Amino acid sequence: MSRPPRVVITESSPRDGLQSLGAFVATEAKIALIDDLAVAGLVSFDAVSFVSPTAVPQMADAAEVVAGVARSGICLQALVPNRRGLEGAIEAKLDGIGVLTAASDTFSQRNVNATVDESMARIHEILASVPEHLTVRGYVSTMTHCPYEGVTDPDRVAGLSETLLEWGCDEVFLGETIGMGTTADVARVLDRVLDRVPVERLGVHFHDTYGQAIANLAVALDAGVSRLDSSAGGLGGCPYAPGAGGNVATEDVVWLLDGLGIEHGVDLAAVARVARAFCDTQRLEYRSKAGQALLARQATPE
Ligand code: HMG
Ligand code: MG
């Protein structure tokens, strides 16, 4: 047992939380979501993606969103699938980028129109021209399961993770894209990955489709992982992973971290209020269990 004393949460609701929604969320609402969550103590944001607007129309206003956010004291990351995306991120003055590969060729092909090898070649190209001030996060999606191919190979996840760090990524995040993996699956993959990657440079990104995300996160924390993505209100999905549910809810994560005595710097009640109001306005399901419980308790007179 080597749980970290503190963790860094990257708030994914503005990007992963919104990217699959059919109805376009107004730019001002996206900006307000980030600003309000920053006031609630979140400092790292998976904010936007610079991808094809035909592929992901919801992210078409990425540059406007970034330009409108009050930037003080927070870091904004953008997903970029190619050099053109990197240029967008540089122009918009992002703090970091996320680059994309996966342990499954079919998912990678659907997601970024490239096999895993081709996606790695694109990442190599991006890394060759990334300015020093940008931090680079490598995502390895489908860490346990692919929506098209089923169970993925932990050794492939480990190999890709190691290569991404060798090539210059600052950190690697394992994506449980489809949310099917149980603690046994996650433990098996972490075991292989941590043989080849230092735990300080590893993060996790869990979707909660099958209700396993909090349990999986507990396994990652027990393994010493101190970087994680979560999404206020449990928003999230992937346009190329049919049936993928939301991300693990930031509120549920914070509840777990408080119980374990792990520092995080986030005001749970404030996140719940912001996310609940956002979901109500946008007519989205508010999925955080901890947030629902807390808000119900606050609404009940003593
Ligand atoms: P392609 O068709 O191979 O690329 O798509 P292309 O170079 O032929 O370009 C196609 C069109 O996209 C062209 O426009 C380009 O100009 C445009 P058209 O001529 O058709 O009008 N284009 C761009 N536009 C803006 N920004 C760009 C850009 N690049 C090309 N950077 C491509 C390849 C990667 C572009 C496409 O497949 C794509 O954008 N995919 C979107 C991928 C995506 O956003 N997926 C969801 C995020 S990943 C995720 O959610 C997983 C994660 O959460 C972790 C986990 O859960 O596991 C991170
Ligand atoms: Mg995701």
Residue 169 among the catalytic residues: no
CA nearest to 172, candidates 133, 215, 238, 127: 127
CA nearest to 123, candidates 297, 152, 266, 114: 114
Please state, in angstroms and rounded to a whole number, the distance separating the CA atoms of residues 31 and 68. Answer: 6
The two structure tokens encoding residue 197: 């990657």
C-alpha 13, offset from chain centre: 8
Ligand 1 atom nearest to 102, measured from its CA: 57
The closest residue, in CA terms, to atom 6 on ligand 1 is: 52
Find out whether the beta carbon of 287 lies less than 6 Å from any atom of ligand 1: no
Give residue-wise pLDDT tens across range 151-197.
999 999 999 999 999 999 999 999 999 999 999 999 999 999 999 99
The mean pLDDT value of the chain amounts to 97
The two structure tokens encoding residue 81: 């699938």
What confidence score (pLDDT) does residue 301 get?
73
Do 199 and 224 contact (CB within 8 A), yes or no? yes
Do 146 and 212 contact (CB within 8 A), yes or no? no
Give residue-wise pLDDT tens across range 99-124.
999 999 999 999 999 999 999 999 99
Please state, in angstroms and rounded to a whole number, the distance separating the CA atoms of residues 38 and 42. Answer: 5
pLDDT at 1 over 70: no
The two structure tokens encoding residue 116: 């895993």
Which of 108-117, 119-128, 136-145, 235-244 has the least mean pLDDT?
A: 235-244
CA nearest to 68, candidates 88, 43, 48: 48
The closest residue, in CA terms, to atom 1 on ligand 1 is: 113
The two structure tokens encoding residue 22: 């059919």
The two structure tokens encoding residue 18: 């919104």
Mutate which of 52, 54, 56, 99 to test ligand 1's pocket (most atoms within 8 Å of Cβ)? 52
Find out whether the beta carbon of 230 lies less than 6 Å from any atom of ligand 1: no
pLDDT band at 238 (very low <50, low <70, confident <90, very high): confident
Please state, in angstroms and rounded to a whole number, the distance separating the CA atoms of residues 44 and 25. Answer: 21
Rounded to the nearest whole angstrom, what is the distance from the C-alpha of residue 102 to the centroid of ligand 1?
15
Find out whether the beta carbon of 85 lies less than 6 Å from any atom of ligand 1: yes
* Percentage above 70 pLDDT, the chain: 99
Q: Strands 96-102 and 75-79, how do they pair?
A: parallel
pLDDT band at 39 (very low <50, low <70, confident <90, very high): very high
Find out whether the beta carbon of 175 lies less than 6 Å from any atom of ligand 1: yes
What confidence score (pLDDT) does residue 245 get?
84
Please state, in angstroms and rounded to a whole number, the distance separating the CA atoms of residues 279 and 182. Answer: 28
CA nearest to 49, candidates 10, 121, 98: 98
pLDDT at 283 over 80: yes
What confidence score (pLDDT) does residue 253 get?
98
pLDDT at 299 over 90: no
What confidence score (pLDDT) does residue 239 get?
84
